[in-house]
Chain A
């Protein structure tokens, strides 16, 4: 089973700053890597799929990069509504299964 490790566990930044979140896979996942945002009391929201494609309606300040085992979610300039928990997720095709990282909490400094 592929394990996803996110870092840091908590990231403290101010609005307007740039955020860089990391997700590392225990073995190659090609580009089958997605990022989700979850706010307290809400369901997760898909931000990025296939490593670098923004989902419908996601602002351009969110971008994803990487392939193989190392991936990054970048928020170019933090807005107040961006403070939340972020999860990465990979899809293995054989056998089909999904795994999530443990999450990175992005908090206001």
Chain B
């Protein structure tokens, strides 16, 4: 059974940093691309970014709203994906979901974690 468990959320002040982790199990982590999607309270879904599998360079793509501030990385030896969030803004407040793609490159977010809440506030 595919499982994705996010951790690392919490309350952080504007301008500070936070790193989220997504621990995966139930599949060969290194074979799949991973994405992060967020949802502000009471709002819709917003794609944050994406990391390809190492077989496709492990390269990343980001939404314009987070580009230059957020970084996605992966540790295939630990089956963990990370979302490093710097220079946080109040508008980054959201539940952050880790997702597993359908393949090694772009596809669709097929499996989703339960999400972790990030609150950016002074």
Contacts and interface: CB of A to CB of B under 8 A. Distances in A.
Interface string B93-118: 00001000010001111101111000
A55 B110 CA distance: 8
A103 B44 contact: yes
B108 A45 contact: no
Interface in A34-76: 34, 36, 38, 43-46, 49, 55
A83 interface: no
A97 B47 contact: yes
Q: Looking at chain A's contact residues, is the secondary structure mostly helix, strand, loop, or mixed?
A: strand
Interface of B: 35, 37, 44-47, 50, 61, 63-64, 97, 102, 106-110, 112-115
A87 B108 CA distance: 13
Nearest to B63: A97
Given A89-B45, A97-B63, A98-B47, A49 B102 contact: yes
Q: Which 3 A-B pairs have the closest CB atoms?
A: A43-B112, A98-B47, A100-B45
Interface in A84-109: 87, 89, 91, 93, 95-103
Contact of A96 (B45, B50, B108, B113): B50
Q: Quick one: which of A1, A36, A98, A101 has the most chain B CB within 10 A? A: A98
Given A97-B47, A99-B47, A43 B110 contact: no
Interface of A: 1, 34, 36, 38, 43-46, 49, 55, 87, 89, 91, 93, 95-103
B96 to A, nearest CB: 11
Given A34-B108, A43-B113, A96 B61 contact: yes
Nearest to A85: B44
A36 to B, nearest CB: 8
A34 B107 CA distance: 10
6 contacts: A43-B113, A44-B112, A89-B108, A95-B61, A97-B47, A98-B109
Contacts of B45: 36, 38, 44, 87, 89, 100, 103
A101 B112 CA distance: 18
Nearest to A48: B108
